[in-house]
Chains A and B, each alone.
Chain A
Amino acid sequence: MRIRSLSLTAAAAALCLSLPSVANAQQDFSDMSWDEIVAQAQEEGEVVWYVWYFQPAYREFVQPFTEATGIEVIIPEGTHDGNFEKMLAESGRDAGDIDVIALGGSRHALFDQSEYYHGPLSEILPGGDQLTYELEGVDTNGYGVAFWGNQTGLAYNPRLVDFEDLPQTLPELEAWMEENPQWFGFNYENGGSGPSFVQSMVRNIMPEIDTTDGEVSEERLASLAPVWDWFLDRSDQFVITASNADSLTRVNDGEFAVVAAWEDHLASLQAQGEVGDHIAFYIPEWGHNGGGNLNGIPLNAQHPAAALVFLDWLTSAETQTALNQRFGVAPMHPDADDSAALVPNEMRAYSRVWTAQPFGDEIRNQFIENVALEM
């Protein structure tokens, strides 16, 4: 058995030299031992990771992996939409540019991972049974592995507002906004922190809407009307910003007291000295969405073994602890230490699941039509 798979590897390696693309596209890792995969990974020598955010920080972060294994990690530039479109567009090619692609949890509802990715990873990775394959209400059936847990909430400037005075419930928010007009900002495009706030308002103003149901119908859209009225009644009390990053830059400038934000994004900008350390973060009791990103290995990856070894490293308890310390994210390995986050653990109870798709996206479109264009 062992000998057979070894010879298979040799045959695969030989094929790799002559026809790399075809061999890789058809390579099946379920027959190989982990040592064989590692050996092939060393041969491959590099892995190209398409991750759509924090690329400069990641280039630094992956250095220990390269030092330990000799495998070079190449992180190209690219946006979430751009990378996703590239992955789909390239899937018809024999050899793609992407070895590992990171995508947000809900993005996986748009395609069938088993048709695009190597896997299931849960059966190939050594500690695969301990890892998470489902985020934001979308199950990848073991083909996409979670490596990054993130949380939306509100970032605030303690020089302008004390923690005790921050709104925690819908009535408190209404009162606070009235007392402090234009001190609250959120975005509706270029990032999910604002849309998460809008979804929270949907949940709180219209509790009867089932947010685990992704169906879009005229009737369901019409039932959102009270939410849009709520926003329109307060249109002189909040400000729409250009992006996640714009919100954080402006709360740092002292223009806003409170903005919708991502916990990991704030932590990262603070680590870069872009936003002051005094800016703090909390999850209000009314609940904000949490989710994360998963990695998959496209079938036409040119360095699939190196990709597997890289994912094994990235999802390990040590690396997840390091990610928590560097970016303040929620670890995706059960043994990792999560003490470095921006919020205390008991606050995580207010984390909510994103509204199911496509209804979630439709909420944002409706917000544009019914609130943004009316302002």
Chain B
Amino acid sequence: MRLRRAGLILLLLLPGLGLILVLIGSVIVMAFGQSVGYFALTGESGFSWEHWREQLDGRLLWRSFQYSAYIATTSSILSVLLAYPIAMWLRRPFRGSLFAGALLKAPLLVPGLVAAFLFINVISFHGFFNELMVWLGIIDRPIRMQNDRNGYGVIFLQVWKNMPFALLLLTGSVQAISDDVLNAARDMGAGSIARFRKVILPLTVPAMQAALVIIFIGAAGDFSFQAVAGPTQVNSMAQLMVRLKGEFGGYHEAGVVAVLLMALALFGSVALAGLTRFAVRAGMKV
């Protein structure tokens, strides 16, 4: 009987989870395998560290790695920082709060590529922002802002697109805190900052971690924002991977980048989530 039940559950899991494991599993095997010389499309297939050595020798890969790590960390933290006060503001319904929430979440409806395009139109040399500043007489000649070297444009876009997502998670979590808990804290003499630090923050840690992790992974693997609005002197990891694969059919080289990108996504997001928990705990004790 128990065996039959276990069999039934396995059977039920097969089309959904099974398919996920098979496909994502083979994709990961493929990336690892090709990075060490297997599954060659042309030429000889066989184990070799050559592609790793070659990629690790050049500076291109490390610059891309650092750049993607920087964009992912900054974007995820900024999105969450910005989302918190808004989530607190929208915690209790008031006249217009639904409208405000809808306005803030609107960027969720805009596909990334469209967002990047809209943004470029506003900040380009001939764009709205420059025209306005020149017209107001604040500057004589338009400023060059497109493809800025520090990736501020990309970070702006990441926050634009992801802050609403963080807000969605945090609002739910903040609203779930009952008034009783907050009132009790107030009765015990906790000020609003202390209440935030000692009650709200710890209770919303899981939502905050989820938001950080998902935004981090998305931003680390970004291609479209970088391709349209990113600095031209450096590639993001995804961009580098696509370039290596596309221009030279270099699946082995792309494999090396893919493995490092997966490592960045995994360890970076776990580290970020861990640090958050640590920081919140430390904040409680102070």
Q: Which of the residues A85, A187, A255 comes within 8 Å of B144, measured between beta carbons?
A: A255
1/0 per residue A230-241: CB within 8 Å of B?
000000000111
| Residue with the highest number of chain B CB atoms closer than 10 Å, among A182, A189, A242 | A242
B124 touches A253 (CB 8 A): yes
B249 touches A85 (CB 8 A): yes
Q: How many residues from A make CB contacts under 8 Å with B?
A: 22
**Distance in Å: Cβ of B158 to nearest Cβ of chain A:** 18
Contact residues of A between 54 and 111, Cβ < 8 Å to B: 79, 81-82, 85, 88
B93 touches A (CB below 8 Å): no
A255 touches B142 (CB 8 A): yes
Contacts known (A254-B125, A368-B60); A242 close to B249, Cβ less than 8 A? no
Known A79-B246, A81-B246, A250-B124; further 16 A-B contacts with Cβ < 8 A: A82-B246, A85-B246, A182-B144, A187-B232, A189-B243, A239-B144, A241-B232, A242-B147, A253-B124, A253-B126, A255-B124, A255-B125, A373-B63, A373-B233, A373-B234, A375-B149
How far is A79 from B149 in the complex, measured between Cα atoms in Å?
27
A375 touches B233 (CB 8 A): yes
Look across to chain A and name the residue whose beta carbon is closest to the beta carbon of B127.
A253
A-B contact pairs, 10 of them (CB 8 A): A79-B246, A239-B144, A242-B227, A242-B228, A254-B125, A368-B60, A369-B58, A373-B60, A373-B63, A375-B233
A372 touches B (CB below 8 Å): yes
How far is A239 from B145 in the complex, measured between Cα atoms in Å?
12
Contact residues of A between 195 and 246, Cβ < 8 Å to B: 239-242
Look across to chain A and name the residue whose beta carbon is closest to the beta carbon of B64.
A373
Look across to chain B and name the residue whose beta carbon is closest to the beta carbon of A82.
B246
How far is A253 from B129 in the complex, measured between Cα atoms in Å?
14
- Chain A residues, Cβ within 8 Å of B243: 189
How far is A255 from B63 in the complex, measured between Cα atoms in Å?
28
Contacts known (A182-B144, A187-B232); A254 close to B246, Cβ less than 8 A? no
B232 touches A240 (CB 8 A): yes
**Distance in Å: Cβ of B196 to nearest Cβ of chain A:** 43
Look across to chain B and name the residue whose beta carbon is closest to the beta carbon of A372.
B233
- Chain A residues, Cβ within 8 Å of B227: 242
- Chain A residues, Cβ within 8 Å of B249: 85, 88
**Distance in Å: Cβ of B86 to nearest Cβ of chain A:** 33
1/0 per residue B243-265: CB within 8 Å of A?
10011010000000000000000
**Distance in Å: Cβ of B147 to nearest Cβ of chain A:** 6
B53 touches A (CB below 8 Å): no
How far is A245 from B146 in the complex, measured between Cα atoms in Å?
14
- Chain A residues, Cβ within 8 Å of B95: none
Look across to chain B and name the residue whose beta carbon is closest to the beta carbon of A256.
B125
Across the A-B interface, the 5 shortest Cβ-Cβ residue pairs: A255-B125, A253-B126, A81-B246, A372-B233, A240-B232
How far is A253 from B125 in the complex, measured between Cα atoms in Å?
6
Look across to chain A and name the residue whose beta carbon is closest to the beta carbon of B249.
A85
1/0 per residue A174-206: CB within 8 Å of B?
000000001000011100000000000000000
A81 touches B247 (CB 8 A): yes
Look across to chain A and name the residue whose beta carbon is closest to the beta carbon of B239.
A189
- Chain A residues, Cβ within 8 Å of B4: none
B59 touches A (CB below 8 Å): yes
**Distance in Å: Cβ of A335 to nearest Cβ of chain B:** 37
- Chain B residues, Cβ within 8 Å of A255: 124-126, 142, 144
- Chain B residues, Cβ within 8 Å of A368: 60
- Chain A residues, Cβ within 8 Å of B146: 250
| Residue with the highest number of chain A CB atoms closer than 10 Å, among B63, B125, B228 | B125
Look across to chain A and name the residue whose beta carbon is closest to the beta carbon of B242.
A81
**Distance in Å: Cβ of A175 to nearest Cβ of chain B:** 22
